[in-house]
Structure 1
Amino acid sequence: MKFIQAKTDDIALIQQLARTSWESAYAEILSKEQIDYMLAEMYSTAEISSHLTNPNYHYFLIENNEKPVGFIGFEHHYEPGTTKLHRLYLIPEAKGSGLGKAAINFLKEKTGETGNKRIILNVNKNNSARKIYESQGFKVYDEGVFDIGGGYVMDDYLMEFIL
């Protein structure tokens, strides 16, 4: 398993991995229309390009046996002393392999290198990923309903990990 810093040339791959993982992860939680809307908004070439030019925002491709199986996107100094995990997705066949936990450990390591002492994330209230985050030491500290446009909202738990 390897974590490879993503570059502009990797945008199409990130988009493809996002679609594959989202269609599996959110099929029982969100409508197809909402999934399509969110992918178009959150994973547009312009959106990912803006992240890649932000010195605090990092994307890493997750490879297993030389094959890209997912990605992680996080932003250091999102708030003072805080890194935000924006995105951690694996394709369906990579789930249950320990790669998600390895990615969280990678995030903890990278966060520690910046001097940040806290990691935050949002997770859909119906997403089973919450259990994985809890098993890695994250705790729910709040919840919120966020208007994401297009007539859609996200009903999330806000979780944190203190280094």
Structure 2
Amino acid sequence: MKIALAKESDILEIQKIATQSWQENYQNIISQEQIDYMLHLMYNEKELQNHFQNENYSYFFIENESEMRIGIMGVEINTEEKSTKLHRLYLLKSEKGKGFGKLAIEFLKNWVKEKENSRIILNVNKFNPAKEFYLKNGFSVYSEGIFDIGNSFVMDDYLMEFVLS
């Protein structure tokens, strides 16, 4: 497995992996209308370009042994708070359960240490089985939140953290 830094020229590939992952993994969690809305909101070209122009935001591809891109990770560093927000960690459904997620989290923990941050935070939908994945990888729930994202949709999430020692 390899983690590779994405570039702005990779936006189409990021959109493709995000769309496939959301369609495969969120069908039983949120409505198709909310999936479509959130994909457009979070993965339109302008939004992704803004991320790449932000020096604190990075995207990574998760690649399998054949160097096929099977997932993405998007993170944002907050140097003032010494924390890193894991905005997205998506794997194609066919690649789940093979250890790629765990290796991506280990990569992230090391990367965050190199950036001299001490905490990784994330939001996960309360009905998403990924919560168990994060718990198994050392994260804990520190709060809950309901966030209005527009168009009559909300995100009903656990807020999780991993504190680096």
TM tier relative to shorter chain: over 0.9
Q: Which residue of 1 aligns with 2:121?
A: 120
Q: Which one is further off, 76-85 or 144-153?
A: 76-85
Letter in 1 for 2:136: S
* SS at structure 2 position matched to 1:51: helix
Q: Deviations over 1:102-152 (max 9, x none)?
A: 111111011001111011000000000000100010000000000011110
Q: Where do 5+ consecutive residues of structure 1 fail to align?
A: none
Letter in 2 for 1:93: S
Percent identity (aligned):
55
Q: Which residue of 2 aligns with 1:85?
A: 86
Structure 1 segment 48-127 matched on structure 2, within 5 A: 48-64=48-64, 65-77=66-78, 80-127=81-128
Residue 134 in structure 1 maps to residue 135 in structure 2 = yes
Residue 41 in structure 1 maps to residue 41 in structure 2 = yes
Q: Which residue of 2 aligns with 1:155?
A: 156
8 Å CA contact 1:78, 1:84 repeated in 2: no
* SS at structure 2 position matched to 1:55: coil
TM-superposed deviation, 1:42:
0.2
Letter in 1 for 2:110: E
TM-superposed deviation, 1:155:
0.2
Taking the aligned partners of 2:83 and 2:45, their CA distance within structure 1 comes to 26
Taking the aligned partners of 1:79 and 1:33, their CA distance within structure 2 comes to 37
Q: So what's the TM-score if we normalise by structure 1?
A: 0.98
Taking the aligned partners of 1:25 and 1:62, their CA distance within structure 2 comes to 17
- Count of aligned pairs: 163
> Aligned-pair RMSD on alpha carbons?
0.9
Q: Which one is further off, 123-132 or 47-56?
A: 47-56
Q: So what's the TM-score if we normalise by structure 2?
A: 0.96
